[in-house]
Amino acid sequence: MEKHGISGNEEFIKTKLGRWKDVEINIGIIGNYGVGKSSFINAIRGLRDDDNGAAETGVTETANVATVYHHPTNNKIKFWNLPSIGTPDYPTDTYSDKVGLEKYDTFLILAAGRFTINDLLLAEKVKSMKKSFFFVRTKIDQDVQHERRKARFNEEAMLNDIREDCLKNLERFEAGDEVVFLISNHYPAKWDFARLTQAILDVLPQHQKESLTLSLDLLTSHSKDILKRKVEILRGRIWMVAAASAAAAVIPLPGLSIVVDFRLLTHEVNLYKSQLGLPKEKSNEFLKLTKENREIILKFCFTNAAELAKILTVFAAGSAVEEVARFIPIIGSAIAGGISFGSTYYFLRQCLNELEKTALNLLDETNANVVRDIVNSVD
């Protein structure tokens, strides 16, 4: 504040708010033909196999070169379908250099059955480079369907057997559950898909973790943990949005001694809704929601300054002086000490809290439907 003044502080904060879109992440996906690499790359990007931009699927779809697939909403995040190690084109001793293993931030080694000797050799190379990696056992939905035909089917016992077999196969790495994941690319809401996503996030540095978290499609993972991670990041942005809005002081709201950046607040509230997987107003998905959930979403809809003024009037009275005072050393008393900062801060906090509850309710409903779909597909 002392160096750049209010206007400079505003620009600095707005730049900081958008920096997550400029962080590059490279994730290497490795495995033999037919293990589901392309389907996984589609699933983690929130795409169906027949969507535009989807990786081509099929037993022989993978070219014998490293192929990059960008995240559909953030092209800085790249998933690489890497060629298999130990082939004539990519022998073990030159694989690291030919593929350029150094540039990848983490690796996923996929197998539809037992991990091969080449998978283990690759893991050793990655480990020697002090990079993280995960063993991913795919097509668990097919295993469940096959086993369900047995008279004494026990899904938990079957999954434990598969997991134990994987761990036995990986004894040389002293691997534990923390690096072994059982997934289905077609049912990411089931089994370990969400846990794998969280594990990838946990090995990344903070700036990459934030970028990937906000880029992930919540509707794909159906994960409450991913939702809470998103909320944690969004909550950490609130003071910056409130400060930038108060510093902008471009729109005095009718009937209030408050000035805000209308566009910034509109963008932030819409970001909350999209990040939490909430449907757009008037869409078919929105109309299918319960009346209570629709009302909560509509509560935070505004298209002009007058509508925003009505909403902020309610929250202006609730803003606590002692709560916003802690930001004075960071952004200065000229901003944090004003009514605009306190009202906006309190409004955004309450908005995020209520939208989070709604999103959690919707996830419960969606996950229940996914379980029914899996059972029906088997029957």
Whichever domain contains 200, its CATH number is 3.40.50.300
Q: Which of 215, 241, 268 is the last residue of a domain?
A: 215
The reported pLDDT for the residue numbered 103 is: 95
Q: What is the mean pLDDT of residues 92-101?
A: 91
Domain match, 111 and 240 both? no
Domain match, 109 and 146 both? yes
In Å, the largest CA–CA distance within the chain is 75
Q: Which of 191, 215, 239 is the last residue of a domain?
A: 215
The reported pLDDT for the residue numbered 30 is: 93
Kindly state the helix (H) or strand (E) to which residue 201 belongs, with its residue range. helix 193-203
Q: Which of 170, 187, 215 is the last residue of a domain?
A: 215
Domain match, 211 and 249 both? no
For 111-134, write each residue's pLDDT tens digit.
999 888 888 888 999 989 999 999
pLDDT band at 136 (very low <50, low <70, confident <90, very high): very high
Cβ pair 136, 110 in contact under 8 A: yes
Domain that holds residue 296: 224-376
Domain match, 190 and 67 both? yes
Residue 13 forms part of a structural domain: no
Residue 9 forms part of a structural domain: no
Q: Check pLDDT > 50 for residue 90.
A: yes
| E strand spans, 129-221 | 132-137, 180-182
Domain match, 204 and 306 both? no
Q: What angle do CA 271, 272, 273 make, to 5 degrees?
A: 90
| E strand spans, the chain | 25-30, 67-71, 74-81, 106-111, 132-137, 180-182, 251-252, 259-260
- Beta-bridge partner residues of 80: 28, 68
Domain match, 208 and 233 both? no
Residue 255 forms part of a structural domain: yes
Domain match, 264 and 123 both? no
Residue 364 forms part of a structural domain: yes
Q: Check pLDDT > 50 for residue 138.
A: yes
The reported pLDDT for the residue numbered 332 is: 45
Q: Which residue has the higher pLDDT, 371 or 157?
A: 157
Residue 346 forms part of a structural domain: yes
Domain match, 359 and 210 both? no
Give phi and psi for 25, each to the nearest 5.
Answer: -135, 130
Q: Check pLDDT > 80 for residue 312.
A: no
For 13-48, write each residue's pLDDT tens digit.
777 788 899 999 999 999 988 899 999 999 999 898
For 182-210, write each residue's pLDDT tens digit.
999 999 888 999 999 999 999 999 999 99
Residue 17 forms part of a structural domain: no
In terms of C-beta distances under 8 Å and separation of at least 24 residues, what long-range contacts does 57-60 make, across chains too? 59/33, 59/34, 60/33
Percent pLDDT > 70 in the chain is 80
The reported pLDDT for the residue numbered 24 is: 96
Domain match, 122 and 162 both? yes
Residue 241 forms part of a structural domain: yes
Q: What is the mean pLDDT of residues 328-339?
A: 46
pLDDT band at 321 (very low <50, low <70, confident <90, very high): very low
Domain match, 187 and 231 both? no
Q: What angle do CA 159, 161, 162 make, to 5 degrees?
A: 65
Three-state SS at 183: coil
The reported pLDDT for the residue numbered 152 is: 83
Cβ pair 80, 67 in contact under 8 A: yes
Q: Are strands 132-137 and 106-111 parallel, antiparallel or unpaired?
A: parallel
For 285-304, write each residue's pLDDT tens digit.
888 888 888 888 988 888 87
Give phi and psi for 204, each to the nearest 5.
Answer: -90, 150
Residue 332 forms part of a structural domain: yes
The reported pLDDT for the residue numbered 254 is: 53
Tokens linked to 293: 């959930």
Three-state SS at 39: helix
Domain match, 210 and 229 both? no
Total count of domains within the chain: 2
| E strand spans, 41-173 | 67-71, 74-81, 106-111, 132-137
Domain match, 129 and 98 both? yes
Q: What is the pTM of this model?
A: 0.83
Nearest to 272 by CA among 332, 218, 329: 218
Give phi and psi for 188, each to the nearest 5.
Answer: -65, -15
